[in-house]
Each structure stands twice: as C-alpha cells, then as structure tokens.
Amino acid sequence: MISVENLHKSFDRIKAVAGISFEIPKGEVFGILGPNGAGKTTTINMIVGILHPDEGTVRINGTADPTKPAIRRQIGNAPQSLALYEDLTAYENLCFFGRLYGLNKRQLKERVDYCLDFAQLTERRRDKVATFSGGMKRRLNMAVALIHDPPVLLFDEPTVGIDPQSRNMIFDCIEDLKKDGRTVVYTTHYMEEAQRLCDRVAIIDKGQILALGTVDELTEKYGGQAVLIADLDAIPENMDELPGYMEGDRLRVETTRPFEDLATLNRAGLKIRQLRVDKPDLEVVFLNLTGRRLRD
C-alpha cells in the first residue's frame, strides 16, 4: 500500500531525514515512534507529497507521485497542528473540506454524519470550533481526515496535549479504523500508544530508522531480559546460591525464565513481601538503542 524507499530531506544544514525506508501493507497500523525532532513529521509530509524528498521515493498503491489528485483522494491526513477553522462550526469545517474533495450533496451528508459520529461531536455540530475543548478539536481534526473516506490515513501525533479521557476516545477511534481495514500511519513519542495501537513500529531518531518490527520483535531483540523484582523482609546472608543482585532490600533478577528463578527464590526460603516481573517495553528498547529516553 505504502512504500517508502531511502528518503532523504535536509533543511539548510540540518539533515531531517537520512535514508528512511519501509513498506506498509494494506490494513496495517504502522507506528513511527521517536522523540521530538526525530524526523517523524518530515517523513509524513514527504509521504503525502507536501515536501519533496531530496532523494528517495514514496509510492502509494504503486504510484510514485502522491500529489496526483487521484492519490490525494486516497489519503487522509490529520496534521499535528489543529488544521481547523476556529470561527466555523464542526459541521461547516467538515462540509468545506468535503466539498474540496468533490463529494456530492448526498455523499457529503452521509460522510459528515459519519465523521461527526466518529468524533462524537454530533450534538455539538452547530457550535464553533473555537468553543471546543482540546480533545474535541483533536477528534474533529482526525474526523476531517476521514471526510472523503480514504483507505490510507496518516495521524501525526494526534494525542498531543489532551486529557486521558479524550486520548482513550482517540485510541478507540483508531481501533475502529483498523477494524474497517484501513491503513493507518501513526506517529507518536508515547511508547504506550505505539504498543497499544500499532501492528508494527519503526523507531526513529535523528532522521534514521533504528529498529523496525512488531512490538514483541523489538522488545525481544532490543529490550533485553525481563526483570524479576522481589522486595524482601530480610536481606539474605549468602547471595552465592541466589540469582540476581541486591539494591537495598530489593532483589533484582534479569532473566529469560522468570518462573524458574522464582522457584529458586522459594527454595532458598526467602520471605518475599512484594513481587513483580517487568517485561521490557519500547521505552527500554529506545533507551538501549540510543542511550536516551524517549522524552529526554
């Protein structure tokens, strides 16, 4: 569906994207995870044809020029900034963009109703966008991207600056789109979102893809071992027989077989006050790959 090959883009002396390549099959939710300034938005803008790559190609459904009107009709994009007319109502915003995509009266009515329902703004349809909360604006921003019923959707950091309730609503929306069989490209710097929503994730930093795969593949390959953490009532006198190492009264065991290690602790007669197993996540993957945290 989307094929990106060796994309390069520089702004003056700053290399924003340096050789990014990936392919996204139809119906996949593809995450681009990286810190601010990693090159996520530049990549998205090159995919949709707003920016011309210095080098490399983008193909959508086999067509190399995303600026062609026929290709544009297949793409819906919700930019990171709230690309809405604040003095128009939700209904007017949707109608305006729908008309630009050439929807006829019947199609426009159907799609506007669908989008308002998608954004859960049907009851506020006649209100100016300026009166909406941040979450409502974000939802409408996404809904506008859906007005022409595109098979490919690109959401650039759609949860920036919104409350947890609205964030959950947006997650539900993305999952609904996935069920519809749409192809979604989702950029974020929140690893929880990528883990929850994306079939595959590309971790990028400084304009390059550091790792690409499913969440499990990435954590397995770059996340290191799971960590068994046991808070003990008393510090054992002899650690030679035990796995792991002590941090105060806490025993940390890095392991690929946590159940077997737990059995070993039991056999040693340790009194465990609290126990948990931390699986590696994308945050750890990023940390291991770059030496920095995602939000640094």
Least Å distance, CB 88 to other proteins, is 7
23: β partners: 3
Among 79, 135, 158, 280, binds other proteins (CB under 8 A): 79
Least Å distance, CB 192 to other proteins, is 25
**Encoded amino acid at 30, one letter:** F
Within 10 angstroms of residue 62's Cβ, the number of other Cβ atoms is 7
Least Å distance, CB 92 to other proteins, is 8
Among positions 135-174, residues that touch other proteins (CB under 8 A) are 144
Least Å distance, CB 138 to other proteins, is 12
Give the total of residues touching other proteins (CB under 8 A). Answer: 28
The three-class DSSP label of residue 14 is: strand
Residue 15 binds other proteins (CB under 8 A): no
Number of H helices, E strands in the chain: 10, 13
Residue 275 binds other proteins (CB under 8 A): no
Q: Rounded to an integer, what distance in angstroms lies between the CA atom of residue 203 and that of residue 40?
A: 10
Site string for other proteins, 99-128 (x = CB under 8 A): xxxx--------------------------
Q: Rounded to an integer, what distance in angstroms lies between the CA atom of residue 284 and that of residue 253?
A: 16
Contacts of 153 (CB under 8 A, 6+ apart): 75, 76, 77, 78, 145, 146, 177, 182, 183, 184, 185
Least Å distance, CB 85 to other proteins, is 6
**Lookup: tokens for 283:** 């945050």
Give the binding site for other proteins (CB under 8 A).
Answer: 11, 48-50, 69-70, 72-73, 75, 77, 79-88, 92, 96-97, 99-102, 144
